């Protein structure tokens, strides 16, 4: 599977491939582009990635999730290029015997992708301005650019 793609994410096709005879739970997370951020109206986003590093990192994150939970399916894809409002910028699908594992693993994977993978968004606002935005700011709290504060840690 291509972890980084400039093509539209086909959520329906990906979900169709994500059914497994031993899995009673399938969780699909789609990170959609919304029309507002920090009080400004967003026109569209443009994503850039260091493709080879981001791909390796996503593979590593998926493997780490497979070690932590008993998953039948774990996939993730992230867009590059222009992504419009309501389109999906990133998708994570996990499947497991029961829902607790699929939910927890899904949250772990998206959280680590957002903090760690060399992927960046540029927000283009309707007023014509643009901004490289939404940076991971964990270093302000951890004092270390390699240490992050993850949402999934709250639920483990």
Partner 1 sequence: MKIEVFAILKEYFDKEFEIKDPLKTVEELRAHLAFLNPESSNVLKICRFAVHDEFVADHYQLTGSDNVVVIPPSSGG
Return residues touching partner 1 (CB under 8 A).
31, 47-50, 52-54, 56, 78, 89-90, 110, 113-122, 132-137, 139, 145-146
Nearest-CA neighbor of 110 among 72, 155, 75? 75
Q: Give the nearest distance from C-beta 22 to partner 1 in angstroms.
A: 29
Q: Which is nearer to partner 1, 62 or 110 (CB)?
A: 110
Q: Which is nearer to partner 1, 73 or 109 (CB)?
A: 109
Q: Give the nearest distance from C-beta 49 to partner 1 in angstroms.
A: 7
Nearest-CA neighbor of 41 among 122, 126, 130? 126
Q: Give the nearest distance from C-beta 141 to partner 1 in angstroms.
A: 13
Q: Which is nearer to partner 1, 64 or 133 (CB)?
A: 133
CB atoms within 10 A of CB 126: 12
Q: Which is nearer to partner 1, 76 or 102 (CB)?
A: 76
Q: Give the nearest distance from C-beta 76 to partner 1 in angstroms.
A: 11
Q: Is 41 exposed, middle or buried (0-12, 13-18, 19+ CB in 10 A)?
A: exposed
Q: Tell me the CB-side half-sphere exposure of residue 155, using CA atoms within 13 A.
A: 12
- CA pair distance 6, 48, nearest whole angstrom: 10
């Amino acid at each position: 599977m291509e972890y980084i793609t400039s093509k539209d994410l086909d959520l329906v096709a990906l979900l169709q491939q994500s059914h497994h005879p031993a899995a009673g739970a399938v969780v699909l997370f789609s990170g959609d582009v919304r029309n507002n951020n920090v009080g400004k109206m967003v026109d569209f986003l443009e994503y850039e990635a260091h493709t080879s590093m981001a791909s390796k990192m996503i593979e590593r994150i998926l493997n780490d999730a497979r070690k932590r939970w008993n998953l039948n399916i774990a996939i993730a894809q992230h867009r590059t290029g222009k992504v419009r409002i309501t389109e999906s910028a990133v998708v994570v699908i996990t499947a497991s015997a029961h829902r607790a594992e699929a939910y927890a693993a899904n949250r772990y994977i998206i959280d680590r992708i957002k903090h760690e993978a060399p992927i960046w968004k540029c927000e283009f606002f309707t007023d014509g301005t643009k901004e490289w935005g939404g940076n991971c700011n964990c270093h302000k709290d951890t004092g270390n650019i390699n240490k992050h504060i993850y949402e999934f840690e709250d639920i483990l």
